[in-house]
Amino acid sequence: MLREGRTGTLALTGDNGYPYSVPVNYTVADGKVLFHGAKDGYKADLLRTHPNVSMSVILRDELDSVRLTTIFASVILFGEAKELQGDEKLEAAALFARRYSDDQRAIDAEIEREKKMLAMWAIEVKHITGKEAIEIVREREENR
């Protein structure tokens, strides 16, 4: 399910004990969740100080106004974020970019232009859980 999504909400340990959550685009590679951000800033500072994170992804969210509910599918993961450096950072950036474009020249140009300001992170997933509405389960069973 995690591979189906593109945007998640990353939850971090913020200042003064307040949680901090921020939307991130992501991709999955080698069992890790890759995301990017600015090299400097609040998110980067928190990740370097408190690498344990949680991320939630909503994959489906449809209103059923007759039954006053939603038909949903979501994933929550817990893990440790590691900042990637050097070639590992550039390879992760290319993997990430290929999820959104197949224009290799544009990808290479964008990475070259942004690489000094770019931070790439990999979450080593320690625990993951998913949940979906019974309607989705039934739909999948009917289509088998």
Helix axes 86-98, 104-114, angle to 10 degrees: 140
Neighbouring C-alpha atoms within 13 Å toward the C-beta of 28 = 13
Interatomic CA distance for residues 45 and 40, integer angstroms:
7
Query: What confidence score (pLDDT) does residue 70 get?
Result: 81
Higher pLDDT, 97 or 68: 97
Q: 95 — phi, psi (to 5°)?
A: -60, -45
- Residue 1 scores a pLDDT above 90: no
Residues linked to residue 128 through DSSP beta bridges, in sequence order: 77
pTM of the model: 0.86
CB-count burial class (<10 Å; 0-12, 13-18, 19+) for 72: middle
pLDDT tens column, 18-46? 999 999 999 999 999 999 999 999 999 99
Domains and CATH numbers, the chain: 2-142 (2.30.110.10)
State percent of the chain over pLDDT 90.
60
